[in-house]
Structures are given as C-alpha cells and as structure tokens.
Amino acid sequence: MTEWNGFVFAALTGDPPPFECSFDLPANRLDDWRLGELVVGKRLQKTLQCNWKVFWENYNECLHCPGVHPRLAQLVPIFGRALLEQRDDPSWRDHADDDDPQYVGGLAHGALSWTTDGRPVGVEFPRLTAEERKAGHSYLTCLPSMFLAAHIDYVRVVRLRPLGPERTEMSIEFLVLPETLADPPRDLRRAIEFTDLVMSEDAAICEVNQRGLHALPHTAGVLMPEEYVVRQFQDWVRAQLSRT
C-alpha cells in the first residue's frame, strides 16, 4: 500500500511493479496543484456497459473527438482536428509560428478552464506556471484504474472499477482548494455539467464499441498512426498478462 498526495494505492498482487512506474509521466507533474491540500467538491458515478479496456482505448485517442465531442472540440480546438497535441500533426512545421489553438493546442482564445462557458468556477491555483495556465489541462494517468485532469481551478479524478467482462464503474471526483468551498457564491455546476456531458459522450461511444465487438465479421481492429498511445496501452496490457 502506498500513499501519494492524499491518495491511497493498494496492489492486489504480491509482486507489484514499483509505484512510480504506474504513471505515464513523472509523478511530480502535478506538484503545482497542491493535490494533498485539496478537498472534494462533488462526486459523480456512472456505470458503463463496456469492458474497462475499451474505455482506456477511447481515452487514449482523439480521432473520435470531432464527431463525439462537438462542445469539447470547440473548447480545445486541436481536438476538433482529431489530434491530441501539436506533435501529432504531420504538418506542424507549417504552423510553428502560429498561436492559433487549433494548431498549437491549449484552450480556445478567451477560455480558461473546462467549463460550459470556459470561465473558472473555483479559486485558481496560485502556484501554476504560465505554461500550465496556457495549456488549460494537464493529465496524469495511473493504469489500470485512474487518471487525473488538472485545470486552473479544479482537478478531476476519474477512477475505473471493472464490474464484469462488459461492465465498468466510473467514479469522478472534483477536487478544489478549500477556499472554493468556503466561498458560497462559487458554484461548481458549470464544471460538473461540462464533465458530465463529455464523459457521457465517451460512455455512449464505448458502449457502441463494445457491441461492435460482438459483430460476426469482427476479428481484429486496425490502429491508425494517430492511435500510438492506444498501441502503448495495448503493449502495457500484454506486459501485465505476461507477468501472471
């Protein structure tokens, strides 16, 4: 069992990998958000009718973003081009000096956070760098069960728990500074409604994908070059299976 920034991680095997190896990026990536000092402002829970690995594959690509997440694609214009970040664009050099978010990433001009109108709902984290604020979102993934999405005023913690071969429980927590909850005029609803919309869209498309796996002609899928993170996830699954 390991405690990290207020989170408790428990390994269900007798020979777990080193804790730091569970993260996709250095664990100190979110240090400026003071995770250990945050409090829970709201919790949501959903049950997805899909295998947990189907969700992770969806999470790790944005080819689906323009068609499945129109509101998100407006807030994060590069997602509207079916790209996760600038380096995924084969023609990125043509826009190297362009500050348009659809080419360089980050939030749409004028937006500051992942909310229905782009305006922050909580007290902003004071220690964020100019780069962290400009990005609008910073992710940290801990396979197989959790990811964090950090914004300038709140942090989303999404946990997954398999309930069966084709059912997955998703729990979402909104973490904020204590000052946010101590300020009655502040209302987290715009962040909660936006997250609920995006995660419900993901849940729906994952369930469609799960049903498609039962199609008689289906044997295997084909990964596109933009799905390199999906390939990394599949390699991780294979590596874990080889440990058993």
Q: Which domain holds residue 178?
A: 22-60+121-214+223-243
- What is the SS3 assignment for 236? helix
| 87 within domain boundaries | no
Residue 129: CB partners within 8 Å, gap ≥ 6?
Answer: 32
Q: Is residue 16 part of a domain?
A: no
Judge whether residue 156 has pLDDT over 70: yes
Confidence of residue 218 (pLDDT cuts 50, 70, 90): confident
Q: In sequence order, which residues have a C-beta less than 8 Å from that of residue 116 and are 6 or more positions away?
A: 71, 190, 193, 194
71 falls within a domain: no
Span of 26-40, 140-154, 210-224 with lowest mean pLDDT: 210-224
Q: Taking the CA of residue 69 as centre, how many other CA atoms within 13 Å lie in the half-sphere pointing to its CB?
A: 30
* pLDDT tier at 96, thresholds 50, 70, 90: confident
Beta strands at 138-142 and 39-48: parallel, antiparallel or unpaired: unpaired
Walk across the sheet containing 146-150 and list its strands: 39-48, 167-176, 155-164, 146-150, 138-142
Query: What are 179-204's pLDDT values in tens digits?
Result: 999 998 899 999 999 999 999 999 99
* CB distance 113 to 120 below 8 Å: yes
Residue 77 lies in a domain: no
Is residue 101 one of the residues assigned to a domain?
no
The structural domain count of the chain equals 1
pTM of the model: 0.93
| Close Cβ partners of 6 (under 8 Å, ≥ 6 residues apart) | 35, 36, 38
Q: Please give the pLDDT value at position 1.
A: 81
- Phi and psi at 64, nearest 5°, equal -80, -10
pLDDT of residue 240: 86
**Can you list the positions of beta strands (E) in the chain?**
2-4, 7-9, 39-48, 138-142, 146-150, 155-164, 167-176
Domain containing residue 26: CATH number: 3.90.380.10
Residue 132 covered by a domain? yes
Say if 171 falls within a structural domain.
yes
- Output the pLDDT for position 162: 97
Residue (of 115, 120, 117, 110) closest to 186 by Cα position: 120
